Amino acid sequence: MFPSFRVSPRQACTALSLICLFWFLVAAPLAAHGDPADFDIKKLFKGEAYISDRQDIITLYKDEAIPVIDMHMHSGTFDNMGPLGREFVLGAIPLPLPDNLKEGLARLIADLTRHPYTPFVGIRNECRKAGLSAAVLFAVYTPEAWGVEDNATVIGHLDDPRNIYRGKPFFYGFASISQENWQNNESNALADLDRAMAHPKMVGVKLAFAHNVEPLDNPAFDSIYQLAERHDAPVYHHIGPSPLRPLDQFPDDAARERYIRSFYPTYVESILQRFPRVRFILGHMGFDFVDSGIDGIDEVFRLARQYPNVYLEISAFGTDSHDPDGTVMDDILGKAKEFNLIDRVIYGSDGPGFAGATEKYKDKTLASMGRVGYTPAEVRLVMAENFLAVTGLDQDPSFQLAPLKAAQVPSEDLDVHLNEVPMEHHPHRH
């Protein structure tokens, strides 16, 4: 048997009791009170909760098998979250508990669900349950907001022996950079990003100007794009307000103006012009996550039609809380087809979120594609091929996506991998 997935009955029991604890303490109250729209606890208990590499879970579109890459996943812990992120998470636990108990609970949940390799509920298992072939982990430097998941931590996940799926890497990474104290720290921060981008599985740069309230049009950050150009790597910008920073929480017009410059798509236009050889991925389509009344979707489409170095990423806005009936996704995917931009649209979910949310986001996206008349070839572009093109992985002769069917992997390949796993790194024997 494939050693990465050998779990003793005792360990399985421990994991299951943690899941039950999670259900009784958090999920049940959430389902009763809070924001349950994207939550499906039944997924945890349906028997396919733990997925081995031998199991085929294939994504189908019009009866055709489609490889899927989710380009937007976050690993992390509760302790590396920033103050706004912690507040957001603690506020989502609707229990009359003192803060230190809530924190303990939040820490446990994050350890279970936001580590890539936790059995049953970790990100890799979530992705496999969703029928994905590969996924991308983002490094994040937003000390006040979601916190810091540094490049070294993500590289640790990429280099982990468990990051092998049917003989191929499962996770790739987007590295990031600290914008703190930029005037004094620019060269250190760039050196760290440069080292991270030298890693063969780091295939892009993820930036979070909105979370850091740094204006997108500030040329002081041009050195990041120069670095990306040297590495021939795409740059991902979060476009749209941060869900953690509603516009009305800024004290005055000047502060609000500065914030708008950190997320509204128009403010990337000068960068698109100055760096025509850098491929820019505009994340979230400029969707208005906080009902600020400032929606950037049309402006994102204008930029994509005008500039060939613009790519569009469709994560996060398609959840049941933001888009319950799929009309936002239908509108965006429909316009992409109408404007001949399907070869620039890239799939991502912004997961993992609640158990089952990764699969649900993918299913909702495919259902929308069906409604607006995407052909299987167009679906393949959005769900995997455009990502491989924007990162250049499709030009890398050593790159291969894991095969969709387990039977396609000769058993000798599995044995080779089996012998490569050093025992001290064995995930289930501590």
Contact residues toward Zn ion (CB under 5 A) are 350
Residue pointed to by tokens 């001949």: 340
Alpha-helix residue ranges (DSSP H) falling in 130-230: 151-159, 182-197, 209-212, 222-230
Q: How far is the CB of 74 from Zn ion (least distance, A)?
A: 6
Q: How far is the CB of 276 from Zn ion (least distance, A)?
A: 26
Choose between 126 and 350: whose C-beta lies nearer to Zn ion: 350
Q: In this structure, are residues 132 and 172 in contact, taking their beta carbons and an 8 Å threshold?
A: no
Choose between 85 and 215: whose C-beta lies nearer to Zn ion: 85
Helix, strand, coil tally for the chain in percent (to 5) = 50, 10, 40
Q: How far is the CB of 373 from Zn ion (least distance, A)?
A: 29
Q: Among residues 206, 207, 205, 270, which one has the least CA distance to residue 231?
A: 205
Q: How far is the CB of 406 from Zn ion (least distance, A)?
A: 31
Choose between 19 and 210: whose C-beta lies nearer to Zn ion: 210
Q: How far is the CB of 13 from Zn ion (least distance, A)?
A: 33
Q: In this structure, are residues 130 and 364 in contact, taking their beta carbons and an 8 Å threshold?
A: no
Q: In this structure, are residues 157 and 116 in contact, taking their beta carbons and an 8 Å threshold?
A: yes
Choose between 208 and 409: whose C-beta lies nearer to Zn ion: 208
Alpha-helix residue ranges (DSSP H) falling in 3-150: 9-22, 28-32, 83-91, 99-113, 123-129
Choose between 122 and 147: whose C-beta lies nearer to Zn ion: 147
Choose between 240 and 356: whose C-beta lies nearer to Zn ion: 240
Q: How far is the CB of 357 from Zn ion (least distance, A)?
A: 13
Alpha-carbon gap, residue 102 to 244, rounded angstroms:
19
Q: At what angle do helices 182-197 and 151-159 cross, to 10 degrees?
A: 10
Q: How far is the CB of 19 from Zn ion (least distance, A)?
A: 24
Choose between 70 and 350: whose C-beta lies nearer to Zn ion: 350
Cα–Cα distances (Å) from 28 to 24, 322, 333, in that order, read: 6, 22, 34
Query: Taking CB positions, which residue lies at the least distance from Zn ion?
Result: 350
Q: How far is the CB of 290 from Zn ion (least distance, A)?
A: 15
| H/E element, 337 | helix 327-338
Alpha-carbon gap, residue 401 to 2, rounded angstroms:
19
The tokens describing 109, both together, are: 């949940």
Choose between 44 and 235: whose C-beta lies nearer to Zn ion: 235
